[in-house]
Amino acid sequence: MSHQNNNAIFLRPRFKMDLNESQQELLEKFRKNLEDDSCKYCCKIVDGHIVIDVPIEENHFWSPQLNIEIAKGEQDKTIVKGLFGPKPQVWTLFMFFHFAVAVSFIAFSVMAYVQWTLKSDYIFALTMVISLPILWIIMYFLGRIEKKPGINK
């Protein structure tokens, strides 16, 4: 079994394992275990992709999700790749906010430069250029803080 190197900086930790079972055998084992009545996790299996969610009674907006991809490897071996992270809609919203901050930073930087060159008042643009990286850092740490409750799940 091999693992990719993970550290605390990653907001969406990943893993990778090489197994000596076929893709179909592993998918069948997942189906049996996840369809068992004692299994409390919600899941979807489509082709070689498995999505496992937190149980409904423990689920909230920031609940993590495990995405597993089971791919054929060499000579009856299988590669299992996993990704822990927020649901796709949460991750998309999170990335949209980061993109908006980055675009705003560029726009206000240009605005500050133009206003400075024209010798007009550039205080507001400069304030935004200084505050947007601070906002980005706050958003990063909010993402890390919201990741902590999901670690136990």
CATH architecture designation of domain 14-86: 2-Layer Sandwich (3.30)
Instruction: Specify the pLDDT at position 148.
Output: 60
Task: Give tens-digit pLDDT for 48-72.
Answer: 888 888 887 777 777 788 888 988 8
User: Across residues 7-34, what is the average pLDDT?
Assistant: 79
High-pLDDT (> 90) share of the chain, %: 29
User: Across residues 130-151, what is the average pLDDT?
Assistant: 80
From residue 2, alpha-carbon distances to 63, 73, 85, 150 in Å are 27, 13, 20, 24
87 — pLDDT class (breaks 50, 70, 90): confident
Q: Give pTM, 2 decimals.
A: 0.62
1 — pLDDT class (breaks 50, 70, 90): very low
**Residue 70: Cβ-neighbour burial (10 angstroms; 0-12, 13-18, 19+):** buried
Task: Give tens-digit pLDDT for 88-129.
Answer: 888 888 889 999 999 999 999 999 999 999 999 999 999 999
**3 state SS of 75:** coil
Q: Which two tokens stand for residue 9?
A: 């900086």
Mean pLDDT, the chain, as a whole number? 82
